[in-house]
Each structure stands twice: as structure tokens, then as C-alpha cells.
Amino acid sequence: MGSRLLVAFAIALAAPASAQAAGVKLFHDTFSAAYRSPFGAVPAGSRVTLRLRVTGGKPRSVAVHVGKRFVPMRRRGSLWAATVATPTTPSIVDYDFRVRIGKRTLWYGDDGSADVVRGGTGVTTAQEQLPFTITAYAPSFTTPAWERGAVVYSLFPDRFRNGDPSNDYCRPGSTTGCPVFYGDTPAKAHLTWNEPVESPPPFNRDFFGGDLGGVQDKLPYLKSLGVDAIWLNPIFQARSYHRYDTDNYMHVDPALGGDAAFASLVAAARAPGIRLILDGVFNHASSDSLYFDRYHRYPADGACESTSSPYRNWFQIQGSTPCTDSDYASFAGVSSLPVFKHDDPGLEDFLFRGNDAVAKHWLGLGASGWRLDAAQEIDHSWWRDFRTAVKAAFPDAPLIGENTAGPADSTEFLLGNELDGVMNYNFREDALGFVHDYTPSKLAHALMALWEGWPKEAVAASFDLIDSHDTERALSSFTEAGDTGLTEARQRLKLAALLQYTWVGAPMLLYGDEVAINAPGSDPFNRAPYPWSDASGNLALYGPPDLGVLDFYTRLGRARAELSGLRDGGFSTLLTGDTTKPPGDNDVFAFLRSGAGAKPVIVVLNKGAMQEQASIPVRGAYANGTTLEDALGGGSFTVSAGSVSVTVAPRNGLVLVGS
């Protein structure tokens, strides 16, 4: 969606003042069915009615500019309308409005690409600027029902729990030895669990000994949190603790327990109904891998060693052998991560086309889906082929992509012919913004922009996160100058988690956040070991676990499981306190999750540092006289005159449902 890369600053330069000064006013609202119907993303080939209100002048002509076409609009009073057909193939449709009045031409389009301004109303300009968009997705698009709205627990196996010290790298008496990576970097063992991560350089070579056995041991704990699925960061043989530098895609790393440990975990996870989502690193491999073998560890020639290697055509490589840094493309300029040549048929057969291709092999062994690393680095046509091949064999396996480790426009991945969902860094930006400085109305707009812009199935399948292994930890993100220790940061963490667990999508919980792990800094410091109270070392280093925060996450997980509206319901805003007349609710945001036969859920959030009172319109969700209970244990309230009056504690909220 290249046109959306224009920024609001550029639009501001278009100087709309001349149009307004002449008294002409244009208005369109993508969030309102009165101006765009049907709302939101639509199946490809759908007809969409667009309306523009024009007041203060008599236009010679009004047209909607759709793609390369100008479609005349018909007038009824001050409203001009046209119905347009979206293409029959999945696509993103741009549109804006051209109004000719006298000798002037005015344009009405969107006023920015960030969620807080994208969609909704627009801006009048003297020149054509940023268009609105309609997402037209594949009519057959569906995402796995079990994963939509599921609670997903994200963990680094090495940093979660050590279930079998005998497989630890470099531990005296272990079965896995003490490997040397990339020719000259020896692995290092943390023989104590609660101790600091290694400060690089060297990079990525320190192991705490966490493994799949440790994950299996803690399945009851994860079930108590309401976890439906575990996203395991890479588990295949690799050349670092993070394992995003794959050595061999067909085997689990021996320091994680090997293939047998994976089979055991799959079997054990069935009883509590917990699924396993694997991390697919298909953009690049390790230069120290079976396939590239720059450091000559394998008897067969890798791509770096010989032009006749069976793996040579899998990589973007040329020049002499053995290769040097300048002979091949690498991810992010890191020479240890040679990039695949994705259009090579042999590579495609290995990764997804073949009957026992990597993507199918592990699903066949009991994995339930894939999180796909660095999806933005691979052409969209490759992902379309990937989806076709994998879904033909495993239609119930979700495909969730990473589109950069930050907010980005992911719509093109979500047209129904590529991915099921994405890691929703846009949600993270909006949640952090609300906790810190967004007004309630700003958050409401941002969430509605997401709800409008993607197919509903994709919104429900995407991972809603407030941090990840690639970002600063949530607790650190929520710390502000002037705080009293970490008290306020923990309150903000709980507020963000409440939004995360009650909005649309699959809330993704990064290991340790549920006990307010205190691991400030970016990679590698954010990847600290989970502060288990029964593990060796200094528990105060990253802990101790905050049991109050743990209890809050447990209650969120219970509410998510018990209230189907939080998993399957739609979304609409009920109140933005900063736009109401009463002065005592300026920090309150309330929204409704309803539909799909579920009991309506009203969510109320107070981002302020003081207790606030608000009267929330229920919009017909409940009749007058209905008693609403707070699913988090905060009391009961009665609907009266179409509203429910509530008192909300500072940096806290309510999850209200009819009793």
C-alpha cells in the first residue's frame, strides 16, 4: 500500500484553509455506515456504497476517485453517493473524493497513515493527497477457530525453565558437550539460574539451560494462567541461545532435549489442551549450518564451500569458495545469517512444497501452527505459495507473521491468501500510547482503524502484544520519570494487560510479564531467565515474582476463558471521557464486545492517577434494571436510563457482564 506511506505532515502542507474560508465543507467518515457501507474490510468482488456530504456550496460535479477511475456521484440533498465494485482478486483499494465548485477543485482524503489518524474522517485539500482504503480479501478466507482469541504464551526455551540439567551445554557431566560457534566462539553455561545475562561481546553464546522438559514441567502453571497455546521461540538445532540462526531444520536442538523431548511435550500438552506454535525462520539460516558450513563442521560441502554443493542455489551467493562476507547477502548485514534465495525450487521443496517439507514435517509431529520470522523480507508471492501448500495439508494450522519488530502496515499480508494474522505491533504502540499519553478518544480511533482495516478473521487471529523478545520489557516501558519505585509501572502493566485481554485478537503474554519481571534494557538484557523462586541464585535480580500481578493475570485468563464475547465478539466504542461534558471522567475509555451469540461484555478503563466516575451508555446491550457484575471481582452495578454508572480505581478497570 505504497500510497499510504505519505505522512500527515505532508497533508498539512496542502493548506486546506482556502476551501474552508470559502464556506465549503466536505465530510466523509469511514467508521460510519452512513458514509461507507458495508463497514470495514469486505470480500473481494463486493459492492461498497460511499457517501460524501457537501455543504456551503453548489458543486459542478462530485466524483469518487477509485484506483484509476473517477466514478460520478449522485446527489440527494447534501449527500452525494456512488456504489463501487471492488476487484474480484484480493487487493487494497484506494479512494478519495474530487469536488469541482466554480473554477476550483477540492479533494477529500485521509489525514494520516498512523492508527491514531488513519480512517474515520479526513481532510479537505487543494491537491490530491492521501487516499482512504478498502481492504478486499479472498472470499474463502478463514482462520483456525481454536486460535482466534486464544491466549498465547511466548517463551524462550533457554530462559524459561531447566527441566533436565544433563542436557545443558558446558555443564560438567552433561551429554551435549561444550560447542564452539562460528569457528572461535565457545558456548558459556550459566550454572546458576538467577544470575545476570552475559553482557556482549561475545554475542548470543550464553546458555541458562532451559529446555523443553522445563516447559513440560510447567504446563500446569501455564494452564492456571488460562494459556491456550505456547509460542516457542526457535527450537531447532542452531548456533546461539536464541536459535534464530538455524543449523538443521529437521532436528530439535540437543540442549533443549532433542527430538524426544519435543515428542514428550506434544503428548503432555494434549491433556490440558495446550497447543504448540513453532517459530519458522525461513528468511535465513546460520553461516555455521549444515547448509552453508562456512566453518567446515560437516563432511558434506555447504554452499560456502563449493559451487557444486547441493545447497549452493539455496542462497544469494556468488564468487569464490570458500566464501567471504562480501560473497553473499545476509540478514540485517549480519554475516552469520546468510539469506535464502527464495525462488529456488529446491529450497521451496525443502521448506514447504515437499511431502515432508519442514513446515509440514513438524505439523505432522504435533505442532499446531507457525509463527513466521521476518516475513517482510520475503516476497508476497512466496507467502501465497507457502499458504497454499501448508493449508492443503494442515488447514487448521495458523500462520502468524512478523512484519518487522514494530508498528507497520500489514494489510497486504492479510488479504486472505497469505497469512492468517501478524504480531500486532500496532496494538502495542496504541496500548503503550494509552497508558502514557493518548487520550481515550485517540485510543478509540486507533483501535477502530485496526478493526476497520483488516479482515475480522485476521484481527482475531493476530497476536496482541505489549512487548516481545525483540522489545524492551513491558515493566520498563511503563516506567515514567517521577515514579515511586516500580509501583506505578506495575499498575500501568496491569492496565495494559487488561486492554490486551479484552480487545479483539489473541493476547500474547511474554514469559515473566505475569510476575512483573524486572529486566530493563534491550536485547540481550530483556531476555532474562524467568525468576523462579525455587531456582538457584539471586531471586532479587529479576524478581522476586510479584504475586499480586500474577493473580491479576490469572483472573484475566479466567475471564477470557469464561466470557466468549471476549474471544468472539465484535468491537464498538461506548465512551471516551475526554469528549464528554462531565469533567470527572476525562481518563475513562469504555467499549463493548458483543455478537456471535455471546453475552455482551462492557470494558471500562481508567488511565488516570485518580479514581474517576463515569456514566457508560450501554447502547441496548442490557435492559434497564440489569445487574452487571465485574468479572475481575470489583463489585456490581445496575443499568438505569440506558447507562451504567461506575467508579473506577486509578490505572485500573472493570469487565462488566450481566448476571
Q: What is the pLDDT of residues 67-86, one digit of tens each?
A: 999 999 999 999 999 999 99
Is residue 105 domain-shared with residue 20, that is, in the same domain?
yes
Domain housing 644? 568-658
Q: Is residue 118 part of a domain?
A: yes
pLDDT greater than 90 at residue 453:
yes
Tell whether 148 is covered by a domain.
Answer: no
Same domain, 47 and 105: yes
Mean pLDDT for the stretch of residues 547-572: 98
Give the pLDDT confidence score for residue 537 in this predicted structure: 98
pLDDT score, position 21? 39
Q: What is the mean pLDDT of residues 332-349?
A: 98
Residue 353 DSSP one-character state? I
Query: What is the phi-psi region of residue 32: left when phi exceeds 0, alpha when psi lies from -120 to 50, beta otherwise?
Result: beta
- pLDDT band at 596, cuts 50/70/90? confident
Given a cut of 90, whether residue 19 has pLDDT beyond it is no
- CB within 8 Å of 58: residues ≥ 6 apart: 101
**Active site annotation includes 373:** yes
Mean predicted confidence (pLDDT) in 557-586: 97
Q: Which three cell numbers stand for residue 7?
A: 505522512
Confidence class of residue 15 from pLDDT cuts 50, 70 and 90?
very low
- In a domain, residue 47? The reply is yes
Nine-digit cell string for 189: 553455561
In this structure, is residue 143 part of a structural domain? no
Residue 562 is predicted with a pLDDT of 97
Task: Report the CATH number at residue 647.
Answer: 2.60.40.1180
Given 94, 402, 467, 585, the catalytic residue: 402
Residue 144 lies in a domain: no
Do 538 and 490 fall within a single domain? yes
For cell 511466548, the residue is 154
Of 324, 340, 356, the position where a domain reaches its end is: 340
Q: Show which of 539, 562, 585 is a domain's final residue.
A: 562
Q: Where are the beta strands (DSSP E) in 68-159?
A: 69-72, 74-76, 79-85, 91-101, 104-109, 123-125, 132-137, 152-155
Catalytic residue among 158, 373, 418, 568: 373
The pLDDT of residue 296 is above 70: yes
94 is catalytic: no
Examine the pLDDT at 22 and tell me if it is beyond 70: no
Cα 28 to its chain centre, rounded Å, is 29
What's the total number of domains in the chain? 4
Name 658's bridge partners: 628
CA distance 579 to 440: 8
pLDDT confidence tier of residue 18, bands split at 50, 70 and 90: low
pLDDT at 8: 41
Strands 79-85 and 236-238: what pairing? unpaired
One domain, residues 397 and 474:
yes
**pLDDT exceeds cutoff 80 at 20:** no
Q: Residue 112 belongs to a domain with what CATH number?
A: 2.60.40.10
Those residues with Cβ within 8 angstroms of residue 546's Cβ, 6 or more apart along the chain or in another chain: 490, 515, 516
In a domain, 146, yes or no: no
Let me know whether 299 and 182 are in one domain: no
pLDDT of residue 4 exceeding 90? no
- Domain presence at residue 145: no
Coil, helix or strand for 586?
Answer: coil
Does residue 605 share a domain with residue 551? no
Q: What is the pLDDT of residues 403-452, one digit of tens each?
A: 998 899 999 999 999 999 999 999 999 999 999 999 999 999 999 999 99
Task: Please tell me the predicted confidence (pLDDT) of residue 14.
Answer: 47
Q: Where among 562, 596, 618 does a domain terminate?
A: 562
125-149: average pLDDT: 98
Taking the C-alpha atoms of residue 440 and residue 434, their distance in angstroms, rounded to an integer, is: 7
Give the pLDDT of residue 405. 87
Residues 212 and 169 in one domain: yes
Residues 160 and 275 occupy one common structural domain: yes
Instruction: Measure the CA–CA gap between 275 and 288, rounded to whole angstroms.
Output: 31
* Mean pLDDT rounded to a whole number for the chain: 95
**Is it the case that residue 525 has pLDDT exceeding 70?**
yes
Let me know whether 211 and 357 are in one domain: yes
CATH number at residue 507: 3.20.20.80
Same domain as 201, residue 115: no
Report whether 440 contacts 589 (CB < 8 A). yes
Flag whether pLDDT at 526 surpasses 50.
yes
Using the predicted structure, report yes or no on whether residue 3 has a pLDDT greater than 70: no
Peptide bond into 650 cis (omega under 30): no
Torsion of CA 263, 266, 268, 269, to 10 degrees: 170
515/113: higher pLDDT: 515
Residues 169 and 52 in one domain: no
Q: What is the pLDDT of residues 474-511, one digit of tens each?
A: 999 999 999 999 999 999 999 999 999 999 999 999 99
Asked, for residue 142, whether it belongs to a domain, the answer is no
Shared domain for 23 and 44, answered yes or no, is yes
Q: What is the pLDDT of residues 238-285, one digit of tens each?
A: 999 999 999 999 999 999 999 999 999 999 999 999 999 999 999 999
